[in-house]
Amino acid sequence: MAERSLLNQLIDALRCLPGVGPKSAQRMAFHLLERDREGGARLARVMADAMARVQSCRRCRTLSEHDLCGICANPKRDASLLCVVEQPSEIVAIDQATDFRGLYFVLGGRLSPLDGIGPDELGLDVLEGRLRDESIMEVILAISPTVEGSATAQFIADFAARHGVKITRIAHGVPLGGELEHVDGGTLALAFAGRRDL
Amino acid sequence: MAERSLLNQLIDALRCLPGVGPKSAQRMAFHLLERDREGGARLARVMADAMARVQSCRRCRTLSEHDLCGICANPKRDASLLCVVEQPSEIVAIDQATDFRGLYFVLGGRLSPLDGIGPDELGLDVLEGRLRDESIMEVILAISPTVEGSATAQFIADFAARHGVKITRIAHGVPLGGELEHVDGGTLALAFAGRRDL
């Protein structure tokens, strides 16, 4: 075949999806073409629209097609609580699993000067502006307990203190149902350091 | 959130892909939006194009955006050999794994009168027309050895005989590297029935 067929182009293009290798891409392409043209056409429309229009929320930096995301624009959310996360996907997880109904702020990573990721890349100037201008009472840090994560948390704690805002960090320890013998040493050490009175 | 965000619409739409549940759909959406907008935009374009333009090859019924697919239109293929398969994906598998360089015919299923799948649904009239009008010497049946598959094979063998065309069926038996104790009984029975002189 001299020219690439549309089918082969579709199989190739599907491989940009994470976790999709040549076999799954082929299965997906045949499935859409043989059994779900309508679903495929809708997916193509929504995907083109999302790639073109989704940007960052001006206030919390999560992904949104609006200037302000649905959470930031919702007057029912508690504007005195601000949860700082690394990635937009973590907002979905926290909103689904917890009863937290405050606002969020997305860093998009952790401080890592060697990789050129400083406070500006994480929008920490925007965050500090919010602590100064909004009536935030408590900042809850939901940041991974890695070296860079802890440095980032400390950096935020420092300027939160300057603005007189209470700062907390979510608990790290042995997960629910976790067997002690299967939990990694770092987590176990964190769990011991963070022990509480019963 | 009153209205569905584009992000949520994208996550929902991705679930039309086979094997993609809510978690993978979310991971795919975030991956495209945060790390591969260009890949996502290209995928959306190719998918829309494929859903709208891919149809069936007039001659072999495989998926193609042209009236004649790449294989049927290729003058280097051996037009005296015709391999009959059930699904378009099997053409890809056979072309990659074997040195078969003849033409194909796609049934799109197997005879199943109870489900309303008769000779016309499988394009057997088109196939018989090809046996009559083209200079085909051998028809190779690559059809699953199920009850319906065997009935379909027998039906094709009958009219191939009327047109004086040689008809063969690919061998079914124990797969390469297959441990006898792990092979199912039906396959083992086929392998015994199809034994050959050494």
Minimum Cα–Cα distance from A53: chain B residue? B6
Task: Answer yes or no: do A42 and B16 touch at CB < 8 A.
Answer: yes
C-alpha distances out from residue A144 to A39, A105, A152, A172, Å: 37, 15, 10, 9
Length of chain B (residues): 198
**Contacts A–B by Cβ distance under 8 A:** 166
Distance from CA of B195 to the nearest CA of A (A): 32
Distance from CA of A76 to the nearest CA of B (A): 10
ipTM of the complex: 0.85
Distance from CA of B149 to the nearest CA of A (A): 20
Residue A3 has pLDDT above 70, yes or no: no
What tokens appear for B25 in the block?
């759909």
Residue B1 has pLDDT above 50, yes or no: no
CB A149 within 8 A of CB A169: no
CB A68 within 8 A of CB B65: no
Residue A25 has pLDDT above 90, yes or no: yes
Tell me which fold the domain A78-198 belongs to.
Dna Topoisomerase Vi A Subunit; Chain: A, domain 2 (3.40.1360)
Distance from CA of B1 to the nearest CA of A (A): 5
* pLDDT tens per residue, range B18-46: 999 999 999 999 999 999 999 999 999 99
Q: pLDDT band for position B4 (50/70/90)?
A: confident
pLDDT at B78: 96
What average pLDDT score do residues B153-159 get? 94
What are the beta bridge partners of residue A142? Answer: A85
What proportions of chain B, in percent to the nearest 5, are helix, strand and coil?
45, 15, 40
Q: Is the Cβ of A16 closer than 8 Å to some Cβ of chain B?
A: yes
Q: Is the Cβ of B18 closer than 8 Å to some Cβ of chain A?
A: yes
Q: Is the Cβ of A93 closer than 8 Å to some Cβ of chain B?
A: no
Residue A37 has pLDDT above 60, yes or no: yes
Going by C-alpha positions, the residue among A138, A150, A159 that lies closest to residue A110 is A150
Q: pLDDT band for position B3 (50/70/90)?
A: low
pLDDT at A72: 96
Task: Answer yes or no: do B5 and A53 touch at CB < 8 A.
Answer: no
Going by C-alpha positions, the residue among B86, B84, B72, B19 that lies closest to residue A26 is B19
* pLDDT tens per residue, range A48-60: 999 999 999 999 9
pLDDT at B177: 80
pLDDT at A1: 42
Interface mutation vs chain B, best among A3, A11, A17, most B CBs within 10 Å: A17
Q: What is the DSSP code (8-state) at residue B180? A: G
C-alpha distances out from residue A142 to A150, A155, A168, A175, Å: 11, 14, 9, 15
| pLDDT, mean over chain B | 92
Helix (H) or strand (E) holding B105: strand B102-106
Minimum Cα–Cα distance from A75: chain B residue? B1
What average pLDDT score do residues A33-51 get? 96
Alpha-helical (H) ranges within chain B are 6-14, 22-35, 37-53, 88-97, 124-133, 147-162, 185-193
Interface mutation vs chain A, best among B53, B54, B91, B104, most A CBs within 10 Å: B54
* pLDDT tens per residue, range A63-122: 999 999 999 999 999 999 999 999 999 998 998 889 999 999 999 999 998 999 999 999
Task: Answer yes or no: do A13 and B46 touch at CB < 8 A.
Answer: yes
Contact residues, chain A, for B2 at CB < 8 Å: 70
Phi and psi angles of residue A158, each rounded to the nearest 5 degrees, phi first: -60, -50
pLDDT at A2: 46
* pLDDT tens per residue, range A145-178: 889 999 999 999 999 999 999 999 998 888 888 7
Contact residues, chain A, for B27 at CB < 8 Å: 18-19, 89
SS (H, E, C) chain A: CCCCCHHHHHHHHHCCCCCCCHHHHHHHHHHHHHHCHHHHHHHHHHHHHHHHHCEECCCCCCEECCCCCCCCCCCCCEEEEEEEECCHHHHHHHHHHCCCCEEEEECCCCCEHHHCECCCCCCHHHHHHHHHHCCCCEEEEECCCCHHHHHHHHHHHHHHHHCCCEEEECCCCCCCCCCHHHCCHHHHHHHHHCCCCC
CATH code of the region B77-169: 3.40.1360.10
3-state secondary structure of B54: coil
What average pLDDT score do residues B168-193 get? 83
Across the interface, which of B16, B50, B74 has its CB nearest the CB of A33?
Answer: B50
Q: How far apart are CA A141 and CA A166, in angstroms?
A: 11
Q: Is the Cβ of B67 closer than 8 Å to some Cβ of chain A?
A: no
Which residues have CB under 8 Å from B6's CB, separation 6+?
A: A46, A49, A50, A53, A54, A64, A65
* pLDDT tens per residue, range B39-68: 999 999 999 999 999 999 999 999 999 999
Burial readout A21-40 (b: 16 or more C-beta within 10 A, e: otherwise): eeebbbbbbbbbbeebeebb
* pLDDT tens per residue, range B70-118: 999 999 999 999 999 999 999 988 988 899 999 999 999 999 989 999 9
Contact residues, chain B, for A41 at CB < 8 Å: 47-48, 51-52
pLDDT at B123: 94
Q: Is the Cβ of B5 closer than 8 Å to some Cβ of chain A?
A: yes
C-alpha distances out from residue B197 to B142, B169, B192, Å: 23, 18, 12
Across the interface, which of A37, A48, A88 has its CB nearest the CB of B30?
Answer: A88
